[in-house]
Structure 1
Amino acid sequence: MTLQYTEVTIDPRGVASLVLNRPEVHNAFDDLMIAELIAQLDSLAADNRVKVLVLKSNGKNFSAGADLNWMRSMAKKDYQQNLDDAAGLASLMHKLDTFPKPTLVLVQGAAFGGAVGLVACCDIALAEENASFCLSEVKIGLIPAVISPYVMRALGERQSRRYFLTAERFNATTAATLGLVHQVVSNDTLENQAEPLVQALLQNSPAAVSAAKNLLQQIYNKNINNEVIAHTTQAIAEIRVSAEGQEGLSAFLEKRKPNWL
């Protein structure tokens, strides 16, 4: 497909960069941008070259959330049209959240509304000191519905009660305290600060990293019962006998580098 709103590159190491590229509107997204992001995620997920995905944006702000013209157009449409439209955003969030390879998001400037959902869906989040966040939906008579499962998982139910209802803007330090971002870095150093994390991820077995992500999805917030215990024992047995599991164990015992490096 022709890229209008995003840029995609894959470096020789297998690090893919998915870049929001509407700086003139602060990388606000509409139905076309959402469809483009979904298509890119599907393509990158199926690309065996990709080992790490970095989500970032061009311009002063990460993303202002939903595009105002798009929201204006949706206000004129009926319930079924709005339902179909919301399903697109829900698909984007789910695909990013369940992307089979590790994901990093780099946040500069504003991350408002649905953009907070994008941050919450990534495995690792870095933000510049000047970054600010806002779940702003109630200010304009809406609610952060589609992104709520992912944001609540990051913030917890108690903090979500506050920020969903007040639509307060909060800074990067608060975002780190709340658990939305992992690390706050100096302005204009996002790429450099992300590199050690990228390097760490590239050292690991791609199959094991993918399996670990799936494990997190399967057992998070579940009671430790017989079903969960059975799932975890099956998961470790399967990875032990897998090709990369066998190679990793052999390399460790033989004190050599595994073949994925």
Structure 2
Amino acid sequence: MDVVTYQTIKVRFQESICYLTFHRPDANNTINDQLIDECLQVMNQCETSSVTVIVLEGLPEVFCFGADFQEIYQEMKSGRKQASSQEPLYDLWLKLQTGPFVTISHVRGKVNAGGLGFVAASDIVIADQTASFSLSELLFGLYPACVLPFLIRRIGYQKAHYMTLMTKPIFVQEAMEWSLVDACDAQSEVLLRKHLLRLRRLNKKAIARYKQFINSLDDRPRRTKSMALTENQDMFSDPQNQMGIIRYVETGQFPWEKSP
């Protein structure tokens, strides 16, 4: 077993399985540029190696809570008006969806906003009974432009539409009914091991051929990439939305709340 530690993730390889754990406990496992870059490094390594299964995991209380508003806040306060492109993150999700390996999100605790992109792009989602899933973007005048192509592909237009509008969490039983979660158990680690016992029998060439075919049947995320990235950048560059984010980071108040 080979163990590698990065700044924002923990990675270990066990035979043909790569375990990639988001590890930003002081930042609620939010997504920053460093995490995206480190995940892409691991994905690129897995593409050209003997890895056939990638397991994504988070902390016991939170899988991934979306964009790091602290990082965005620092960029805005430094005078940067134009938001950075989310193409690296989108490409990371595309690698999860189309790469020559089986991708599994093992979810415990909260998943929010961009964190749902990792889940929706995975081939298989395993959860325990603490798992919850939400899209909070509209609360800040935003919407999940980059997540939606992956989420609609997985659970359908109307359910993704409902999650976006309501902004509230759905819990694991409902997520199962909506096909956002494939398998659930209070002992999700045991459930994961049972899946891996079967998945580790698959060879890389067969996985690559199958995923190329299955993704050609619904290529929505790749087809809509340019539009999603443009919309996302425009939203995060909007001065009113930026002021809402700055206010939330500084005071904890949502955009609709009046100052005391």
- Report the TM-score range of the alignment, normalised by the length of the smaller protein: 0.7 to 0.9
Is 1:93–1:117's contact at 8 Å kept on the other side of the alignment? yes
Alignment of 1:192-211 (within 5 A): 192-211=190-209
Is 1:23–1:59's contact at 8 Å kept on the other side of the alignment? no
Residue type of the alignment partner of 1:218:
S
1:78 aligns to what? 81
Alignment of 1:10 onto 2:8? no
2:139 aligns to what? 139
Residue type of the alignment partner of 2:195:
L
Q: Percent identity?
A: 26
Structure 1 unaligned runs (5+)? 223-261
User: In structure 2, do the counterparts of structure 1 residues 207 and 63 end up closer, same or farther at CA, with 3 Å as the change threshold?
Assistant: same
1:238 aligns to what? none
How far residue 31 of structure 1 moved from its aligned partner, in angstroms, is 1.2
How far residue 17 of structure 1 moved from its aligned partner, in angstroms, is 0.4
1:213 aligns to what? 211
1:31 aligns to what? 33
Calculate the aligned-residue CA RMSD, in Å: 1.8
Is 1:27–1:63's contact at 8 Å kept on the other side of the alignment? yes
1:169 aligns to what? 169
- Structure 2 distance, partners of 1:22, 1:59, is 12
- Structure 2 distance, partners of 1:150, 1:134, is 15
Query: For this pair of structures, how many residues does the alignment match?
Result: 215
User: In structure 2, do the counterparts of structure 1 residues 106 and 36 end up closer, same or farther at CA, with 3 Å as the change threshold?
Assistant: same
How far residue 6 of structure 1 moved from its aligned partner, in angstroms, is 0.7
- Structure 2 distance, partners of 1:71, 1:173, is 33
- Structure 1 distance, partners of 2:5, 2:178, is 38
Residue type of the alignment partner of 2:136:
S
Is 2:66–2:114's contact at 8 Å kept on the other side of the alignment? yes
1:236 aligns to what? none
Alignment of 1:1-261 (within 5 A): 3-12=6-15, 14-48=16-50, 50-75=51-76, 76-79=79-82, 82=83, 84-186=84-186, 189-220=187-218
User: In structure 2, do the counterparts of structure 1 residues 59 and 26 end up closer, same or farther at CA, with 3 Å as the change threshold?
Assistant: farther
Superimposed CA distance per residue, residues 97-123 of structure 1 (whole angstroms, 9 cap, x where no aligned partner): 222111111000000001111001110
Is 2:52–2:204's contact at 8 Å kept on the other side of the alignment? yes
Superimposed CA distance per residue, residues 192-231 of structure 1 (whole angstroms, 9 cap, x where no aligned partner): 1111111111223331122111110112379xxxxxxxxx
- Structure 1 distance, partners of 2:75, 2:184, is 36
Structure 2 unaligned runs (5+)? 221-260
Partner of 2:63, secondary structure, is: coil
With a CA cutoff of 8 Å and minimum separation of 6, indicate the structure with the bigger relative contact order.
Answer: 2
TM-score by length of 2: 0.78
- Structure 2 distance, partners of 1:47, 1:124, is 21
